[in-house]
Structure 1
């Protein structure tokens, strides 16, 4: 943050000097702004905190020295210190991203082999595999890679901060490509202006984020990157695969198709209403149609070709004549006239699809609306064919092709909105409807087989269960209004707008059938015809470890019900299952949850194969490792054989959304990694265990059971654990951080079970324990090996051969490297009861040491990040600057809990949480 900011270096990484220079530049600008805006006294306080943090890292002073120095500083003076270190964390993140981009470019220019996770590397692997076209066709028959942006992010940055971040990135890129002194001086002035704007912008919202704000925030990624990247990537992947297997039928639809939960996920969120569902879909539609209209306007300007010099087709001239553009000035410009007519028809389409308030800026038109995106594509196809006939393929391959690719994937809907609700709510709603209709009272008390019989009979009937004038409870009326709103969206915008209905805590066949009965009630499902249909996938979400274990049995039982099976068959035999990473981890700990997910996938694959259906898995991953995070490429390759089958969906949450999709370069790299891993997992045996698979599975069965025992002993078996957790972490204060519209708990209780996974993980991350990402693994390994060298050799061999085991340990190591039990001890001191503090924190420190030792012993590495030099560099260079944020957070928590309940203290706590979430990058 000052001119001496980056005195720490890593001599083992000579190539990191450009990174240090970038951080030094940005930190110096920030330091000058702090001095100018906050004064010399604050600047000196920041400098003192910075220097002493480095001395703590070098063991020259104790942590208590810095804490004591800051304890006497008034809260008003602490706030700018927190802001300075928070801004530095954000700027350092940008510098690291740019450095990775720079290193990749260096490797490309050096002629190095393409790295894993790139499509170039994947294509080389596929070329070596000698795959038959029929194999490729079958594996990619339902190809889909769908990153789904969720409705409960831990992203804390405001839009203005986000815009500054984008501007600084572009300026730093420009700076790297110029040696002109005047240009460099101007760039530094522009950087100063942007960072000054950052400093003068409030980091924390005064009011909690509303769902409609979340919708707008999610949509901004389309303008920033997705409109640019997704169509191009889809076209390139399709061309690459078809050139390799011209006789195979591949990618009849775009492979990358993003999705969204924002505005449709009402599990525990009372703020989602029918109006919100409608608004989410309308805003998405307006964004898609607005994009298409803007591209058409640009095309109309660009395609100035005259009939006098360019041959055109009869179809193109007919399209021009039907456009209504009869001006003499453009009589010989058929392309412009044709596109003018297409714009007019799309304008009419927007007017048909959207309420007046959501209409993009359009031109007046008396032309008919397009019924579907396919009709719009047909007209653009006429223009494309005429251009190519006129030897203008290079022009057709530019904006026109990109627009056609965009319409193919985004249509009029942009991205499908998922609906989600808890199975307990469905049961109550169906019970009330059945009672109101006079069919049965006490439905919820019926045994499972009677529920299934009742629900299947209901699915076969034509009559509805209720009428518009029915007197229903508030909950039932609200649920029905949401479903009716969804049905209206499907009728108006099309079935692509809402494609999935997720059932949280799904445990039985009746849970699945209840949703189907509700969809039937609003007309989204019909079994009473020769051609059964359902425009919505009903997707069970298996969340707890026990539910994951029972998932295959639940699916098998559902498929044995003719009514359920007929709906599967009408969707081309495709069944989607969602797997919950967050709650399974909170339920049983890191290793047990990861293995339960793997085992569940194995069982589901076998069940699907036996039933003759296609299985698509939807991975409910969070940003942090404790919620399923980690490198997506490695995570996909770590799936069991048959679990990918050419398609997958996965949630994108929290601050990782911005890290992956805030600008085209990042978005391209992350989407490419998803596609690369999907292709490899679908077409190549990546598990590598072969005949040793069952013995490896048995080892993990035992390890997972031991890990769960250790985790359960701490979380559920240690007296006072809940008190320790709520006192030693800022979990109680997380609810006040205005980062989302969702409550921190599903129910108003203090139970760990009812607490949502995001605050559970975020709280442990803030206090630097990172418990959900490792606890229990060390005890499991230590107990299982038991001093037996043959057992240690078994685990070492599995680490070398098995991507799953390697990924689990690698992700765990990243978490352990970010943990800091010296800082965590400061948080433990917030617990007043010394016996409780020692009882819980003693277990945590012992298990931490045991887990680090287990990792190093199995892998043979000498450090936790030996296989991740980029993160090792970050931890080495930047993590000392997290020390003041953690120290100040503890200080302010002490003041707050001692009765200093002021706006300044509350604001300071939230600022530290914001800064740490930014610095740690995957905190929720």
Structure 2
């Protein structure tokens, strides 16, 4: 019988029916294709499900698999099962609930809590959810598997909701194709392939789901939307930090592709409307305004369309709208002036409104939906962010200033005070013509100059909204942003205004990214310095006194551990909001979250409500990375449900931010929704400090740590994987600091210790003598509760026994014994105090559905871990290059399979 029947569970019976069905289909396929693989799969699975496992028997089965020529197929069997389990779980997390339930509930709860309907509607009409889809290499599946995921989910709906037996055959077909496909890409993923993967999800799911949310919000407000409450963003083609494959040519290509796709989507919508709106002027008299518009533009109609002019005015106008959009695709590429076209999305919306105003609400239903689609997509589809490391800007400025005689070439080595003095003098000078110096500088500086020129071109010719944020990675001081401001001035992305009455002339947000614990703590001081700088102060005025700041969850966690990262982020945001009130600056906070808990993952809705007071106020901009994109947005129903959940939580948090004082307590939950009191703050500060010390001692001060990391995790195999276009390191270096956060977390997740998500937390909690005070803090502080809950989920995914098996690859006994004993001691301590804080006897005892979900995967992940260990051992002993390459492919397949079972990579 199935594993699920051996476990005590709380999942609905429908879940297990589907799981039983998919298991039987898979075993049936294995029996047909390879009885030997089926035997391996069933034997290993069966033994791992036993309460009293026989290590000897498991080892014997593993040896048999490793010695067979069916190792890769056996790995694929376990990996496919993990993928199928994820599909079923995603379906049942949604489980046919009203897709707008969370948004409806948020409105109802706020009314119940005493908020006025008008205030709720005002917030809803002005707020903005801004997901930014990144190309970070945390999606371990190929597009083939993404598409199959989508279709199998649909097939399960047809089978269990519509009793469509034809869908069963389609599932078999899809599984058969996947079985015959490689789990791992054989080629390096290029940037444009990353774009292709994202656009598949955007076009097949996100656009329609987001449009449905806009339609629903419009229904709540009972008036047309003035702007979209959802803004789609992307880093693909704009994120250059450490990625040499993102060039100016690639960036421009990405912007053109996005523009073309959204225009083509509009043309398809118009084509459908032309077929439908065969309305005659005999039955629907049209307004003088529409009549004048048609009269003015009728010469642009072709002969056949011209016949419709007097009889079917709606079709005639739609033909004209279609021609303007087609001309727009031409206008982007030609230096000639194209007259009959749309320059701005507002012009298209005005034409749609002209038609809507001549129709009743039933007849104009799909025109209204088209209008909301244009509000969502504009002429850019997704707003691209430009991100580059501070050193690149600094080096370019240094070279140019030397060329122009403003400074010497050692500008980057000057004190901060002297840098600002030189930058101020440079910013006082009239703007220079960048094209005049572009052939007089090095190739790397040419790239930066050309990037600014291309951004300006795209904003003029594609859309003003095609790019807004210019992110400076690893910002450490105020001069980093003044360097970017100098480039912005020279490229006309900032035209300095001289008083508050002048029209806004800042076309970009200069956005510092604060990533390390130290940088987060100094963020407030850096912004304060900039606000007093004459030129940056002018830029702020020209940017309507708004300053975007990106805060990094990944590197702060790698730098100081999970608790200190969360605490420092909270504190930095809290201090920035206070500073904003003092200086009259509105901060736009951009949350650089990853998929895993140690990189800011976890439930976004909980994180929102746990954020500091007045830190949201109607706007949430956050990254959506890797496997999170597919799990939340690949299926249109789930995408709609996810968007509703997030916007519902954003509405609640925005209401609290707008109307709650620091001491407000939510009557319903009796939990402080906006405030952490002084006692709690001091307690968490002590936890953070102690946790930080324990983490830093382990990762940065323990001799042999990197040797242990490189041997006791499959990091060297991960670095060879073709998951994304970006290298795993910013630069070649043996230091932890220079390893990217994703492979850092990925490697520890693979060996099942998941160190970044909990190490140091036990020491931090132990430092508090009054454990009852911790329990009270957990009950009353949303921030502390969310942090502890996320850590407890990860702890259940940890398998310390499996992690211990990887120790055999560390041959130095001193390093092995010392580091492993530190891991064991801190793990035991963290388990003890997390259970105490949550008042549980076993992890997630109070959340049985979530507990079951994690434990259900355990035997299948364990099988892959054991196979991975066996294969790495063979690889280490192998001297034949052909055999080693085969073993690398098999290890890579286990990595993908484990990632699917763990539900995240890095």
TM-score, scaled to structure 2: 0.93
Q: Report the equivalent of 1:860.
A: 839
Deviation of the 1:910 alpha carbon: 0.8
Q: String of CA shifts for 1:236-286, please: whole Å, max 9, x gaps.
A: 33553x46xx9xxx9742221110111111111111110011011111111
Q: Report the equivalent of 2:696.
A: 712
- 2:43 counterpart (37, 42, 48): 48
Q: String of CA shifts for 1:720-756, please: whole Å, max 9, x gaps.
A: 1110001000111111111101110111011101000
Q: Report the equivalent of 1:875.
A: 854
Q: Report the equivalent of 2:572.
A: 600
Structure 1 residue runs of 5 or longer lacking an equivalent are 109-113, 357-364, 786-790
Q: Report the equivalent of 2:749.
A: 765
Q: Report the equivalent of 1:89.
A: 82
Q: Report the equivalent of 1:822.
A: 801
Q: Report the equivalent of 1:923.
A: 905
Task: Determine if the alignment matches structure 1 residue 26 to structure 2 residue 19.
Answer: no
- 1:909 counterpart (875, 891, 904): 891
Structure 2 residue runs of 5 or longer lacking an equivalent are 661-665
- 1:271 counterpart (220, 226, 245): 245
Q: How does 1:825-840 map to 2 (within 5 A)?
A: 825-840=804-819
Deviation of the 1:217 alpha carbon: 1.4
| Paired residue secondary structure (1:579) | strand
Q: How does 1:474-485 map to 2 (within 5 A)?
A: 474-485=443-454
Q: How does 1:103-502 map to 2 (within 5 A)?
A: 104=97, 118-131=102-115, 143-179=127-163, 183-184=164-165, 186-240=166-220, 242=221, 252-320=226-294, 322=298, 324-327=301-304, 330=308, 332-354=311-333, 368-388=340-360, 393-397=361-365, 399-441=366-408, 442-464=410-432, 467-468=436-437, 470-502=439-471
Moved more, 552-561 or 251-260: 251-260
- The 1-side partners of 2:444 and 2:689 are apart by 40
Structure-2 change in CA distance of 1:641 and 1:238 (3 Å):
farther
Deviation of the 1:859 alpha carbon: 1.2
Q: Report the equivalent of 2:615.
A: 643
Task: Determine if the alignment matches structure 1 residue 803 to structure 2 residue 782.
Answer: yes
Structure-2 change in CA distance of 1:576 and 1:75 (3 Å):
farther
Structure-2 change in CA distance of 1:558 and 1:760 (3 Å):
same
Moved more, 472-481 or 795-804: 472-481
- The 1-side partners of 2:267 and 2:397 are apart by 43
- The 1-side partners of 2:264 and 2:846 are apart by 45
Structure-2 change in CA distance of 1:7 and 1:408 (3 Å):
closer
Paired residues of 1:577 and 1:616 also in contact (CA < 8 A):
yes
Deviation of the 1:139 alpha carbon: 6.5
Paired residues of 1:660 and 1:667 also in contact (CA < 8 A):
yes
| Paired residue secondary structure (1:718) | coil
- The 1-side partners of 2:407 and 2:874 are apart by 57
- The 1-side partners of 2:200 and 2:731 are apart by 32
Deviation of the 1:371 alpha carbon: 1.2
Paired residues of 1:437 and 1:465 also in contact (CA < 8 A):
no
Moved more, 686-695 or 578-587: 686-695
- 1:894 counterpart (859, 868, 873): 873
Deviation of the 1:325 alpha carbon: 4.1
| Paired residue secondary structure (2:388) | strand
Paired residues of 1:461 and 1:528 also in contact (CA < 8 A):
no
Paired residues of 2:515 and 2:551 also in contact (CA < 8 A):
yes
- The 1-side partners of 2:112 and 2:179 are apart by 53
Moved more, 373-382 or 753-762: 373-382
Moved more, 148-157 or 457-466: 457-466
Q: String of CA shifts for 1:862-899, please: whole Å, max 9, x gaps.
A: 33223433321222322211111111111111122223
| Paired residue secondary structure (2:95) | helix
Q: String of CA shifts for 1:203-247, please: whole Å, max 9, x gaps.
A: 21111100111111122222121211212313433553x46xx9x
Deviation of the 1:309 alpha carbon: 2.8
Structure-2 change in CA distance of 1:707 and 1:366 (3 Å):
closer
| Paired residue secondary structure (1:651) | strand
Deviation of the 1:49 alpha carbon: 1.4
Q: Report the equivalent of 1:66.
A: 58
Paired residues of 1:277 and 1:486 also in contact (CA < 8 A):
no
Deviation of the 1:133 alpha carbon: 8.3
Paired residues of 2:595 and 2:627 also in contact (CA < 8 A):
yes
Structure-2 change in CA distance of 1:600 and 1:691 (3 Å):
closer
Structure-2 change in CA distance of 1:779 and 1:22 (3 Å):
same
- The 1-side partners of 2:675 and 2:644 are apart by 32
Moved more, 375-384 or 330-339: 330-339
Deviation of the 1:142 alpha carbon: 6.2
Q: String of CA shifts for 1:486-544, please: whole Å, max 9, x gaps.
A: 22111211220010011111111101111111122222112266646220100111100
Q: String of CA shifts for 1:300-325, please: whole Å, max 9, x gaps.
A: 11111222333333333444552514
Paired residues of 2:673 and 2:782 also in contact (CA < 8 A):
no
Paired residues of 1:345 and 1:367 also in contact (CA < 8 A):
no
Paired residues of 2:138 and 2:904 also in contact (CA < 8 A):
no
- The 2-side partners of 1:355 and 1:796 are apart by 66
Q: Report the equivalent of 1:510.
A: 479
- The 2-side partners of 1:837 and 1:724 are apart by 7
Structure-2 change in CA distance of 1:138 and 1:698 (3 Å):
farther
Paired residues of 1:775 and 1:847 also in contact (CA < 8 A):
yes
Structure-2 change in CA distance of 1:325 and 1:733 (3 Å):
same
Paired residues of 2:613 and 2:675 also in contact (CA < 8 A):
no
- The 1-side partners of 2:674 and 2:724 are apart by 45
Moved more, 850-859 or 323-332: 323-332
- The 2-side partners of 1:92 and 1:138 are apart by 42
- The 1-side partners of 2:9 and 2:147 are apart by 35
RMSD, aligned α-carbons: 2.3
TM-score, scaled to structure 1: 0.91
- The 2-side partners of 1:354 and 1:369 are apart by 13
Q: How does 1:674-713 map to 2 (within 5 A)?
A: 674-684=646-656, 685=660, 688=672, 693-713=677-697
Q: Report the equivalent of 1:362.
A: none
- The 2-side partners of 1:367 and 1:609 are apart by 47
Paired residues of 2:860 and 2:901 also in contact (CA < 8 A):
no
- The 2-side partners of 1:395 and 1:852 are apart by 61
- The 1-side partners of 2:457 and 2:517 are apart by 37
Deviation of the 1:178 alpha carbon: 2.8
- The 2-side partners of 1:692 and 1:882 are apart by 39
Deviation of the 1:330 alpha carbon: 3.9
Q: Report the equivalent of 1:360.
A: none
Paired residues of 2:497 and 2:542 also in contact (CA < 8 A):
no
Deviation of the 1:82 alpha carbon: 0.5
